[in-house]
Structure 1
Amino acid sequence: HHAKENVLQTPTWNIFAEAPKLIMDSIQGECKVAQDQITTFNGVDLASALPENCYNVLAQDCSPEMKFMVLMRNSKESPNHKDINVKLGEYDIDMYYSADAFKMKINNLEVSEEHLPYKSFNYPTVEIKKKGNGVSLSASEYGIDSLDYDGLTFKFRPTIWMKGKTCGICGHNDDESEKELQMPDGSVAKDQMRFIHSWILPAESCSEGCNLKHTLVKLEKAIATDGAKAKCYSVQPVLRCAKGCSPVKTVEVSTGFHCLPSDVSLDLPEGQIRLEKSEDFSEKVEAHTACSCETSPCAA
């Protein structure tokens, strides 16, 4: 009689054992990238037309501790594949596909698949193990519960205590979608493209191949304010090709502008990417997403 009772109870207990996991899954949040779609922690789908050769900040710890940063770009060799770079404390981890094979570098040293699973010697612990056709990285002390990557798809889950502390294209993981398109300067983008462009990480060296930079633009056409011509400047930057490069792909983005009488000159220092002025109107302008350079920017 007792044995029969146990048989009946077992499935019930299994269901309850799963309950905490289901609750955790719903609280934790997951950011996914597959082909040209990014699904944020809060479940918002973004069309991910990423600018070429440039890393975008998918997610980072936005608390003062800045424990991690996860970057992604389209692979140069295969547009369908993504390259991932993860920065964790003293670790700089590159995961990418080259010649149809998975490759990984830790602090610029190649680690072959045969050497997986990998576990760091020092605390905090970083673990990387094989999973399907790719790998899974976990570093819970740094705020990364799991980061799965197979070249084509990417899934990232921060630890539960990182809830609401992340920023980047994946969002804040705070179950609020009002500020889903929040840019690094804290303002909310007018469209998805503008939002994705704002999270580009400008190249630290010319050899990285990212020839785009954030630039304040002047509106080419004269706008009549009180019957007079005016010069208008974007209050936030737009992606433009670096000096010596010309655009081969462009896209329209909505940008706010501030206008000045035409006889007033505005001195914009080189590298300034924000205009602390009120927005007079919004206009669609051309942003560059791929460039062709006659000479290597390294030669400049």
Structure 2
Amino acid sequence: MAHKVVIIGSGPAGHTAAIYAARANLNPVMYEGFMAGGVAAGGQLTTTTEVENFPGFPEGIDGTKLTQLFREQSVKYGTTIHTQTITKVDFSKRPFVLWSDDERIEAESVIIATGATAKRMHIPGEETFWQRGISACAVCDGALPIFRGKELAVIGGGDSAVEEANHLAKFASKVYLIHRRDTLRASQIMQKRAMEHPKIEILWNQNVIEAKGEQQGLTSIVLENTQNKNQSQLSVGGLFYAIGHVPNTEIFKGQLDLDETGYIKTVPGTTQTNIEGVFAAGDVQDKIYRQAITAAGSGCMAALEAERWLEGH
């Protein structure tokens, strides 16, 4: 028998959708993923330590703990959760068919909340200092005490890299924007903002090739000049990657409309995809805000839209 709602993914978008769908007596079934996209169930929040910008937690809360609370709430209201990854889908007919390993699942409606994964550099020292000085989200982590008043570095050359550098400049004593070329990809207005900011210094033609530190965390990075290969060491208390995200949409290619970078296209102001009855919420369709709270909000939208759609079908 087909499930009324199947939710793929288990971050704030997936769990908010599950809570709303469960309370609407839709008996949602969630496939939370097992290390899908290289990240534990719960999504990107599980890769961050302190979350200080999620309403309701004035003291901040550990990212993994927050996702545990999401999960407990989903289960409490009647969501069935499977710790499996959906590996294939067929949206060409209804009920929709999904596969997880060997299991075949039928669904009247589907909410996709598979998120995106921040690109990493995979340099020596990265694993050691991940979340101990290295982060892929300045908005999430930049205001944490470990970064305040320190010299920080951002890697990247696009709008988001400049935005992250700007954001960090509020808390840091200085921000180095490190770019492997001699021009930024960022829009003119963003470039101007970076170049005129008294706390931001752009280091051109540089690659970060190693992260170094001590027991308490990151203390410096090794740079290599992309032109003459000269190496230098830069003392920083934090390193932020702003080299893009990869949306986890591989299994939907050829069935759902994706944009040029792989994000699911939704009808503006909704979570509707190009296939009726299939909805997308959270970072899998949002490359602008990428926050836990905006993902949660779109998860709510997806559940309400799925409920309304099911009533008419």
The answer, yes or no, to whether TM exceeds 0.5 is no
TM bracket (short chain): under 0.3
Using structure 2 for the length normalisation, give the TM-score: 0.24
Using structure 1 for the length normalisation, give the TM-score: 0.25
Higher strand share: 1
Higher helix share: 2
